[in-house]
Each structure stands twice: as structure tokens, then as C-alpha cells.
């Protein structure tokens, strides 16, 4: 049986959503891990940093969570090749922890945005997207106030050139540079994305496209 962990920070509010989404989509065993833990469960195939408002988004979104004790173990696991997915606030944490490049800024509209969005699958060959089997467009949901991805020109050129841009917005709701909605690290095992696959894993939620992401990454374990 595949095994996943969802890290819970003070202020996380999508941790149980992620657990339910992974369990129902894949049948994997999912453990919840409090941010103050100094060890992760053994034999993990996937670690998820969920959405929410870790530490109340004080200082900068994800900045304080990036220094939580458990993050040292998340880094070690990623270095061993374990898949790590940061969703929404989790993406912000990964950027603040320097596990992914770039930064998430205030939305260009300066408003919180929560709605379904169409996404282009910009790279369907990653561990997280291979399950889409060539589909070019999927549907998920965004819910953020700081989802505006930014990186300098040199970083953008590297992301584009190395195929590290995984998802783009069909209609950019946040003002993200180049419409970027999700990226992976250069090794391809760490994903950060602002849209929520955990809110799009069953047809009753408006889309089941998020389930494919979880299925894809755990099928590669």
C-alpha cells in the first residue's frame, strides 16, 4: 500500500481536505504530521503541505512555516527523492524554504480570489501529471489572496527551458508571470501549485481532475 503524509501547521485549513482527497482518490494510507515533529513516518511515497494560513500569514505567507521543525525532515525526504506537493499555502512554504524558486505576491487585483479555473497542463511528463495522458486542459479551484507567482527573468528562462512549468492558467486570475500556476524543482519530485487538486477530486465537486494528480504521483512511487 502506498503511504502519504499531510503536514499540519498552525492555521492550516485544507489538511483534512487533502487527506480525504488522497484516500478516496488512491486508497493510500495517509498520516497527519504536526509541524513540531522532528521525524516523519517511515516509508512515505508523498508528503503534502496543504493550503490555509500557516501562522496566520504573519511576516509573509509561508515564511514562518518554512522554519517549522518538520521542514528539515521534509527537505531530507525530498533530497532522497520522495515526492513533495505544496498546495496554495504549501506552495508559499516551499518557496520560502527555498525548495522551489520564485515567490508568491499579492494578487494583482489586491483581492482574495476563490473560483474554479481552467489550467493548461504545460508539462504532462512529470510524476505529478503523467496520469493526464496527454490531456491539455484540466479544471481545479483557486482560493488565495497571494497567488501571484513571480520570478526574475533568469529564473523564468530556466523554468521554461527545463520544463519545470507544470500548470498555467488559461485565464490568469492572479497576475502570475507567464500565467504560471504550478512548477516543479529541477529533479521533478517537488511540486508547488496554487490551484487546489484537493477541491477537485470528485465529479460532485465540479471536477475530478485533482484526483488524477494524486493518482499519478503515487503510481510512480
**What DSSP string describes 30-75?**
EEEEETT-S---TT-SEEEE--B-GGGG-SSTTTTGGGSTHHHHHH
Alpha-carbon distances, residue 167 vs 70, 120, 178, 182, 197 (angstroms): 27, 6, 11, 5, 12
Exactly one of 67, 88, 98, 114 is catalytic; name it: 88
Exactly one of 14, 35, 95, 196 is catalytic; name it: 196
61 belongs to the catalytic site:
no
Beta-strand pair 148-150/137-144 = unpaired
196 belongs to the catalytic site:
yes
Alpha-carbon distances, residue 36 vs 15, 82, 178 (angstroms): 15, 20, 36
* pLDDT digit string (tens) for the chain, length 221 residues: 899 999 999 999 999 999 999 999 999 999 999 999 999 999 999 999 999 999 999 989 999 999 999 999 999 999 999 999 999 999 999 999 999 999 999 999 999 999 999 999 999 999 999 999 999 999 999 999 999 999 999 999 999 999 999 999 999 999 999 999 999 999 999 999 999 999 999 999 999 999 999 999 999 88
Alpha-carbon distances, residue 200 vs 34, 58, 104, 193 (angstroms): 25, 28, 22, 14
φ and ψ at residue 179, rounded to 5 degrees? 65, 20
Burial of residue 98, with CB atoms counted within 10 A of its CB: 0-12 exposed, 13-18 middle, 19 or more buried: exposed
Alpha-carbon distances, residue 5 vs 22, 39, 78 (angstroms): 10, 12, 13
3-219 classified as CATH 3.40.50.880 = yes
Q: In the chain, what are the domain boundaries?
A: 3-219
Amino acid at each position: 500500500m502506498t503511504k502519504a503524509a499531510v503536514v499540519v501547521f498552525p492555521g492550516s485549513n485544507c489538511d483534512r481536505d487533502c487527506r480525504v482527497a488522497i484516500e478516496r482518490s488512491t486508497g493510500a494510507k495517509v498520516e497527519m504530521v504536526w509541524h513540531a515533529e522532528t521525524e516523519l513516518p517511515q516509508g512515505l511515497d508523498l508528503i503534502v503541505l496543504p493550503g490555509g494560513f500557516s501562522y496566520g500569514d504573519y511576516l509573509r505567507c509561508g515564511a514562518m512555516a518554512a522554519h517549522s521543525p518538520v521542514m528539515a525532515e521534509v527537505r531530507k525526504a525530498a533530497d532522497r527523492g520522495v515526492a513533495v506537493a505544496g498546495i496554495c499555502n504549501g506552495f508559499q512554504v516551499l518557496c520560502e524554504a527555498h525548495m522551489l524558486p520564485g515567490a508568491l505576491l499579492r494578487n494583482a487585483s489586491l483581492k482574495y480570489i476563490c473560483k474554479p479555473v481552467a489550467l493548461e497542463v504545460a508539462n504532462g511528463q512529470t510524476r505529478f501529471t503523467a496520469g493526464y495522458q496527454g490531456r491539455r486542459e484540466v479544471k481545479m479551484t483557486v482560493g488565495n489572496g497571494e497567488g501571484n507567482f513571480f520570478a526574475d527573468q533568469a529564473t523564468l528562462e530556466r523554468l521554461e527551458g527545463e520544463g519545470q512549468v507544470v500548470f498555467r492558467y488559461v485565464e490568469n486570475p492572479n497576475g502570475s508571470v507567464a500565467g504560471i500556476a504550478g512548477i516543479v524543482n529541477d529533479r521533478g519530485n517537488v511540486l508547488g501549485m496554487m490551484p487546489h487538486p484537493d477541491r477537485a477530486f470528485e465529479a460532485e465537486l465540479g471536477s475530478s481532475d485533482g484526483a488524477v494528480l494524486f493518482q499519478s504521483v503515487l503510481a510512480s512511487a
